[in-house]
Amino acid sequence: MSFELVILGNSSATPTLNRFPSAQYLHVLDHHLLIDCGEGTQMQMQRYKIKKTKIKHVFISHIHADHMLGLPGLLFSMNLMQRTEPLHIYGPDTLFEIIDLFHKNTESELRFEIIKHITNTNTKEVIYEDALLKVSSFPLFHRVPTTGFLFEEQPKLKKLNVVSCKKNSIPFANYTDIKRGKDYVSDDGKIIIPNSELTVDKGEPFSYAYCSDTMYDERVIEAVKNVNLLYHEATFLHDRLKRAEETKHSTALQAGIVAQKANVSKLIIGHFSSRYDLLDELLAETRTQFANSFIANEGEHFFME
């Protein structure tokens, strides 16, 4: 499995009895990532059997309580679990001020290093990259500086058609180039065997965009263009557009419009106001704009191969 997303919380500011504040666990390729970390995230990780020890990167969209208040407790628990491996945290500078003061005042010295990555809340930036995965932050439009996060699989290496390679006596030294999509060529550059005969295509790389808290803005649409999976906040029904605008949040209808205009494949909505006991109406409203929409139910797993 190359992509697994687990919803740990889907509530907005005030949690409800059944809805914890924002947090998601993303298992993508061999990475174990945490996206936002609202109050109670460490309890939710226990509930859904996600090992704290595995997490190497934590992405915090902004420092409102419902997106980061679980972080100091999580760090403290990781420390009690004897963690020594560094932890990368990505977030606005104001987040690290709070974390630092917290450690100073509690006289806590962690056994592991926190590697701070201050996000740029004004422009899109690549914040992590390796051979398999690229992560970017991009501006959202909320009451405090906020970013979304875009997780993109790197263009995939192709899978060798070993039978064909052996039949055609392709030298082993050429295998890597062929996996990268090159044809098998003679010394003077002529194609001897085209790549398509030597490989099995693994399909398009996937992408996931996370938009935590934001008002409707065309720039968000640009940032999440063509992703396979989009998470977008939908705090209110559209009859509360005025309240959404005042608090710089989106309505369920607007989340659907973003997905539709950005040409994404699938949308999940979350960050629901505690005023809504049932979420059906929010989903129905989103689906008037974008049919392939789903609720980010707490505990739900979303998979992509």
Using CB under 8 A, list all residues that contact its own copies: 13-17, 20-21, 39-40, 42-43, 46-47, 63-66, 69-70, 72-73, 76-77, 80-81, 94-95, 97-98, 101-102, 105-107, 143-144
Contact, 134 vs 154, CB < 8 A? yes
Q: How far is the CB of 17 from its own copies (least distance, A)?
A: 5
3-state secondary structure of 230: strand
Contact, 152 vs 127, CB < 8 A? no
In our burial notation (b when 16+ CB lie closer than 10 A, e otherwise), range 145-174 reads bbbbbbbbbeebebebbeeebeeeebeeee
Looking at beta carbons only, is 161 or 235 nearer to its own copies? 235
- Assigned token pair, 174: 């050429």
Looking at beta carbons only, is 158 or 249 nearer to its own copies? 249
Looking at beta carbons only, is 98 or 193 nearer to its own copies? 98
Looking at beta carbons only, is 118 or 185 nearer to its own copies? 118
Beta strand segments in the chain, E: 3-9, 23-28, 31-37, 57-59, 87-91, 114-118, 125-129, 133-139, 147-153, 159-160, 184-185, 191-193, 199-200, 207-211, 229-233, 266-270, 293-295, 301-304
Catalytic residue among 36, 66, 201, 217: 66
CA 224 → CA 41, 152, 267, distances in Å? 26, 11, 11
Looking at beta carbons only, is 103 or 124 nearer to its own copies? 103
Looking at beta carbons only, is 63 or 268 nearer to its own copies? 63
Within 10 angstroms of residue 81's Cβ, the number of other Cβ atoms is 11
- Assigned token pair, 18: 């059944």
130 is catalytic: no
Q: How far is the CB of 59 from its own copies (least distance, A)?
A: 18
Q: How far is the CB of 90 from its own copies (least distance, A)?
A: 17
In our burial notation (b when 16+ CB lie closer than 10 A, e otherwise), range 238-263 reads bebbeebeebbbbbbbbbbbbbbbbe
Q: How far is the CB of 112 from its own copies (least distance, A)?
A: 15
Q: How far is the CB of 18 from its own copies (least distance, A)?
A: 9
Q: What are the residue numbers of the active site?
A: 66
